Structure 1
Amino acid sequence: MQWAQGARAKNRDKNAKDESILLYLSRANNGSNTTEITSVSKTILALKKRLLPDSVAIPIFLNQTLYAVQEGITLGIWIKDSYYDTSGLSSLNENKSALDTNGKREFESKMHTATAFMLFAQAYKILHDLKPHASDDLSVMKQKFAGIPEVSLLSPIKGISCSLFYYDKYLGHPEIIKSDKDVIDFTVVYFEALIDEIQLRKSTLEYTETIEDRTYKLESRSVGTEFAISGWNNVFQGTAKSVEFNKIQFEQIVGNRDAKHFARRLTERLLSYDFTAKKNPFQELGGFMPVFMGYGIPGTGKSMLIAAIATRLKAHCDTLDIPFLFHPMPDTLISTFQGGSAEKMVEWMKPLQDPSKLIFAPIDDAENNLQERTAQGVSAGVKEVIGVFLRYTEGAYAVNYGNSSIGLFTNLPEMLDKAVISRVQGRFKIDGARSEHDFLDQDHLWWRKIDDTMPDFVNMQGPENYSYLQDQGLAKNMGDILSSVEKPTEERVHEVYNKVEKHFKTNQHLFYANLYKEIQAIFPFFSSRDVRNIQSAISLRLTDFDLEEDWFENPEIYFKKDYDTKFNMLQELMRANMKGLDFSDIRRQEVVRYLDNVATIADTDFKRKVDARVNQLNIETEARKTFENEQ
């Protein structure tokens, strides 16, 4: 192809150091206005000689890339020709010399649109062919990439020439390509950026009706090679690959009965998602949790619980032949650049809207990225991240099919932003080992590894009436765990509870209306969303039943059924489960549990600051005594 750089592209980053990629690109024509002829094929051959000098043939990654780019250009040109015919641009082109002012304007406008759609289709086909072969993590390549200096939409020839000119120049930069696999990785990054550039310009294009009202499908006899372009839709935006994790079974987690039970219910609900109907029957039944929270002091098993949920989901998904995405929030989300954190957060949230797989998205140490925005010293990046989180979990962007769930895991729930906490529809405490048997089992998980290696070396006597790990099984239902919950334990909540109870009984609706009103007077941030969260918690209890064992052993009985059949089967289970329950009792327990939790989180930060201040005063007092004694 041949291309003469525009003035803006040539003048970019003039003050940068010599090694700047932008400066390198701006000097692509040696600073002249002349048109330069370049060849991607020749550049690929030059890369072969540099990277693999002993190779006779073009290496597989370079060959795949070259072929994908060629196929993309071919398809893009076909798409352009199709638009010419359907939009009337072909006839305008034939009578170009006879066009009046309006005709010339229409011709130029349609030419811009044809070029944009051609480049979009070209990039889209290249991504379709190369993404399966690219690395899972492209962050390093994205850091090297400095953007596309210019994109031309003046005509199809100029559009292709401009896009391939800069693609070729990047390939020729010695710091971009260090291995043959880098060629595929960079090609994916480059053409993703080209699609983003087209999407930015999309709103300025006219005569797009014949683009948006149809789908083009590439026919193929090969299995698994279906490719279609439907308007400007980009299915690759927001795609992600599952992250590796350590395999942990629930039995390996000591204590945490509440957390393990909640986690089991989460996996069962996610697995009930119907891929054909693109919805989950548990959403209709009120037992699904798009956002939940696990909290507890350090060292109680939060990271192990994340791995256990992922392990259980992955095992069932493999059995049921369901695609699964383990999608934890990355540690490098907060950016020092203005707007960078929001962009990264959107990139992380997008895959949660993919209806083609089950998605578990944990946020470990959630207080780091979702900290209270009003706290002193909170960065602009954290505020950007929270803003995106709130929009994508409840609002215009909040599309949830019932196939994804975000889990907030934190040691410091009181440090989380209040609006973030209000999005949490299910919560549980991760408190680790609590009983004598829990500590016995925790030790057993440690010393049994020594015993396996050196039998009889651990010469200590075990308990007489307890089998190791006997208490670490899963609870039947939340009733087993919450049976002791009667009244609030937090002092202010308890006082308000008793005050309202003097006028109304707990089986009266007015009891809860007045209780909420009194709670709001103490905690002004308590709102209607909190009431909805309480309602969700009650719905979770009503759907707190086990799926039948044979459903997992024979997926055709339940998991492979259509949506309506699954919904009816769950309704039957729900009705059977509710026969032994008391609604008013469950409601009281969940309200007490939630309000205690609200009060605890509200006070903990203040109490922690008071304790820290008291500790500092004690240190100063002790230091003063020591100083006086030494004198």
Structure 2
Amino acid sequence: MSQSASEMELREEDIRSHYAAAAEMLMGIDHAPRLAQARLTLAAPERSPEISAMNRRFRSTTPGMITRQMARPDGVRLIDRIAESDDDDPLTSAKQAAVTHALRRALSIALAAGAAFADRTGLGELKKANLETRLPAARQGEFGELLGAEALAVLFTFGNALAFLLAPQASEQTVEVGSVDEVLTDNAPLALHGALWELDQIIGLHAKSDDLLVSAVLAYAEQLMAKVALRAETHPRVQPFAEAKYRVEADDFTLAGFTPARKARGTTLTMAFKKPEEVIGNHIAKYQAMRLAKMLMAYDFSRKLNPFAELGGFIFTFMGDGKPGTGKTTLIQMMAGMINDYCKIAGYPFRYQNLSIDNVDSYQGKSGQNAKAFITSVMDPAVIGFGTIDDIDQVAGKRGERGSSAGQQEITAVLMEAFAGANTVVRGNATFGMFSNYPEMVDDALRQRAGARFLVDGPQSREDYIDILALLLGKNHAIPVGEHDLYAGQEIRKAVAASFEGHSQPHEDGLKAVWAAVAGKIGPLDTLAKLGSYLKAIQEADGRFTGRAIKNITDAVKVRAMDFELPDEWMEKPDLFLFKDYDTKKAMIADLRTPITVEMVVQEINRYADSEFRYADKSDEAAIEGAVRDMRRMEEAKRRYLEGKG
């Protein structure tokens, strides 16, 4: 990959010149913790002194932790700690070696970055003057501040490079390592010693297998970066590092101040994928899911932007709702399968994750952490991401609802901020689908953050039911089809055109009344003024129909303007489109756009408003039924109370 004009190079020879110092730190350092508390202490030996000297045993001071081997009284030897992570195996495993090499490389990159910072800020000259006892008293304050800034730069670079280099070794296992406390800013060497001491503690506690070893080190690196970046916000003289951009060509690693670099980490999916022809009915939902799968593939990894996100028409969030058994899971399996296949052809990393009820935790703050980790993982700009929240009415709590737990409320807050918050950046590499059988139970503000609505209503026509019967029966029979053109009704463009046309008129009774009143006053909706009048009338009928609803409608209209499928050939032969540069891809997409029509706008207003009226009706009916049940219970309780009293 070529180096941009704004990037400075961290030369390979400069990095490798620190290999010896990095290896020495891994082999053994002495460090007495200053800010952190030791999590483990030395246990009394149970064997002969000779054996104990070779293989000391330690016990945890952390409640609930099992006995593990711990930091030695003669210093921290991280290489030995890593080798002991699989207990009795005398040979070093591939992952242990990978961790050790990543640590040496990350330490060397960090030391090289520290040297570059010292050269850039004049700290190198101040160090030399200090060693020679000729540092002016007037500059001692500046010297101390620069030493602290260098320590923060070196610590962040260490964590950043370590996370980047170890990313390909990551598994699906995760480790909670707690807070990172031993963040020292006296000088860079002491800062690294403190970091290695704390990492040794964490490995001793958590690394019970190779996968857990990698997960523990990665978790530590992430926590270290977060703590250092927070400290750097108020520390003086860090700007030269924060504004610098360095390139490590051999690792394809870019160091951009206190911003974490992300290495592509895909996941191997084991779900049962479905083909589009196996999704019966749900024509609009299927069509939009198929198009969205191809839209994601237009993402440009160099520019970190998707032309669809810039031109308009990219679906960042969508809500799929329908009765149980109408095909929501099948739709997820189809879309994930298509993206997975396209990514395999292009060689792109694909990450699919689902946020489920299992992520709601009774421990305060843990549910929010789970939701943040889910969002961060899917939105990683180094991958194509697809995130789903199935049964979102159970996962995310409705604010003000007495039945919602604190954990559910935490997840709601995180999702609302992630989907449409002040810091939300839609790059076009990831999309999120929320699915529910009871969308009326989803918090109104969270539901309105779904930019598109997929009504998953399952088979509808006689032809649909014949098709799904034939599909599910399979081929182990000789029953004739009869007078029916099998799967002809599933021809997607024909079915979608009919489905969109069906929204030229409202479907829900409440919206029908608004439509009739507006049409009776102003006639056909053929101008922006008349369309605005219709929207205002909807808002008067339902106060939740706010400006966000209008944005979602206009976004859906822009999607309709992109009412084309990227040719299958473009997905099958990446050189035709996927591997083009960003501007070429953008121009190719722009050429396929169609003009926005008033029919599109009317249909999308009705589609969106129908869904909101449908949710409101269901929500009101559910509330009424609940109130009736409460009244009946109170009447029965009163009757039994009076009988018992008599």
Q: How high is the TM-score relative to the length of structure 2?
A: 0.81
Distance 1:21 1:238 in 2: 34
The question of 1:210 aligning with 2:217 is answered: no
Distance 1:556 1:27, change over 3 A: closer
Report the counterpart of residue 67 of structure 1 in structure 2: 101
User: What are the Cα deviations for residues 66-104 of structure 1, in whole angstroms up to 9, with x where unaligned?
Assistant: 233233333333333333333222322233344455422
1:228-627 alignment, distance < 5 Å: 228-236=254-262, 241=267, 243-448=269-474, 451=476, 458=477, 461-476=479-494, 478-505=496-523, 506-575=525-594, 583-611=597-625
Q: Report deviation, 1:431.
A: 1.1
Distance 1:392 1:489, change over 3 A: same
Distance 1:322 1:5 in 2: 43
Give the partner amino acid of 2:173.
L
The question of 1:37 aligning with 2:37 is answered: no
Distance 1:259 1:45 in 2: 52
Give the partner amino acid of 1:260.
K
The DSSP-based 3-state class of the residue aligned with 2:489 is: helix
The question of 1:193 aligning with 2:211 is answered: no
Distance 1:93 1:284 in 2: 49
Q: Count the aligned residue pairs.
A: 588
The question of 1:109 aligning with 2:145 is answered: yes
Distance 1:63 1:261, change over 3 A: closer
Is the 1:334–1:341 Cα contact (8 Å) retained in structure 2? yes
Give the partner amino acid of 2:188.
P
Is the 2:180–2:223 Cα contact (8 Å) retained in structure 1? yes
Q: Report deviation, 1:548.
A: 3.6
The DSSP-based 3-state class of the residue aligned with 1:37 is: coil
Is the 1:477–1:544 Cα contact (8 Å) retained in structure 2? no
Is the 1:238–1:347 Cα contact (8 Å) retained in structure 2? no
Distance 1:172 1:265, change over 3 A: closer
The DSSP-based 3-state class of the residue aligned with 1:483 is: helix
Q: Report deviation, 1:444.
A: 2.5
The DSSP-based 3-state class of the residue aligned with 2:37 is: helix
The question of 1:6 aligning with 2:24 is answered: no
User: What are the Cα deviations for residues 292-315 of structure 1, in whole angstroms up to 9, with x where unaligned?
Assistant: 111101111111111100111221
Distance 1:383 1:245 in 2: 29
Distance 1:51 1:183, change over 3 A: farther
Distance 1:154 1:29, change over 3 A: farther
Report the counterpart of residue 455 of structure 1 in structure 2: none
Distance 1:546 1:94 in 2: 64
Q: Report deviation, 1:618.
A: 10
1:90-105 alignment, distance < 5 Å: 90-96=124-130, 97-99=133-135, 101-105=137-141
Q: Report deviation, 1:324.
A: 2.5
Q: Report deviation, 1:42.
A: 3.5
Q: Report deviation, 1:615.
A: 8.4
The DSSP-based 3-state class of the residue aligned with 2:432 is: strand
Distance 1:527 1:538 in 2: 17
Is the 2:504–2:599 Cα contact (8 Å) retained in structure 1? no
Is the 2:264–2:349 Cα contact (8 Å) retained in structure 1? no
Distance 1:484 1:607, change over 3 A: same
Q: Report deviation, 1:522.
A: 1.9
Distance 1:292 1:45 in 2: 47
Where does structure 2 lack aligned partners over 5 or more consecutive residues? 1-28, 42-58, 636-646
Distance 1:542 1:565 in 2: 20
Q: Report deviation, 1:2.
A: 0.9
Distance 1:218 1:480, change over 3 A: same
Report the counterpart of residue 128 of structure 1 in structure 2: 164
Moved more, 79-88 or 306-315: 79-88
Give the partner amino acid of 1:462.
P
Distance 1:170 1:603 in 2: 53
The DSSP-based 3-state class of the residue aligned with 1:377 is: coil
Where does structure 1 lack aligned partners over 5 or more consecutive residues? 452-457, 622-631
Distance 1:186 1:103, change over 3 A: same
Report the counterpart of residue 629 of structure 1 in structure 2: none
- 1:154 aligned to 168, 183, 186, which one? 186
Is the 1:238–1:348 Cα contact (8 Å) retained in structure 2? no
User: What are the Cα deviations for residues 162-203 of structure 1, in whole angstroms up to 9, with x where unaligned?
Assistant: 222232334444xx3323443333222223322222222112
Q: Report deviation, 1:609.
A: 4.0
Q: Report deviation, 1:39.
A: 1.8
Is the 2:322–2:455 Cα contact (8 Å) retained in structure 1? yes
Distance 1:11 1:574 in 2: 60
Q: Report deviation, 1:602.
A: 0.9
Distance 2:312 2:499 in 1: 21
Q: Report deviation, 1:447.
A: 2.6
Report the counterpart of residue 625 of structure 1 in structure 2: none
Give the partner amino acid of 2:32.
A
Distance 1:147 1:620 in 2: 50
User: What are the Cα deviations for residues 9-52 of structure 1, in whole angstroms up to 9, with x where unaligned?
Assistant: 26999xxxx8553798999999xxx985232233345556x331
Distance 1:203 1:238 in 2: 28
Distance 1:68 1:342, change over 3 A: same
Is the 1:216–1:229 Cα contact (8 Å) retained in structure 2? yes
The DSSP-based 3-state class of the residue aligned with 1:6 is: coil
Is the 1:360–1:405 Cα contact (8 Å) retained in structure 2? yes
Give the partner amino acid of 2:77.
S
Give the partner amino acid of 2:196.
L
Distance 1:93 1:371, change over 3 A: same
Distance 1:205 1:469, change over 3 A: same
Distance 2:311 2:156 in 1: 42
The question of 1:51 aligning with 2:69 is answered: no
Give the partner amino acid of 1:599.
F
- Percent identical residues: 25
Is the 1:86–1:210 Cα contact (8 Å) retained in structure 2? yes
Give the partner amino acid of 2:492.
L
Distance 1:322 1:69, change over 3 A: closer
The DSSP-based 3-state class of the residue aligned with 1:375 is: coil
Is the 1:239–1:351 Cα contact (8 Å) retained in structure 2? no
Distance 1:489 1:619, change over 3 A: farther
Give the partner amino acid of 1:592.
N
Is the 1:4–1:35 Cα contact (8 Å) retained in structure 2? no
The question of 1:83 aligning with 2:83 is answered: no
Distance 2:572 2:527 in 1: 44
Distance 1:11 1:563 in 2: 50
Distance 1:546 1:434 in 2: 24
Is the 1:239–1:350 Cα contact (8 Å) retained in structure 2? no
- 1:183 aligned to 197, 213, 230, which one? 213
Distance 1:574 1:337, change over 3 A: same
Is the 2:291–2:566 Cα contact (8 Å) retained in structure 1? no
Report the counterpart of residue 627 of structure 1 in structure 2: none
Distance 2:589 2:82 in 1: 58
The DSSP-based 3-state class of the residue aligned with 1:138 is: coil
Q: How high is the TM-score relative to the length of structure 1?
A: 0.83
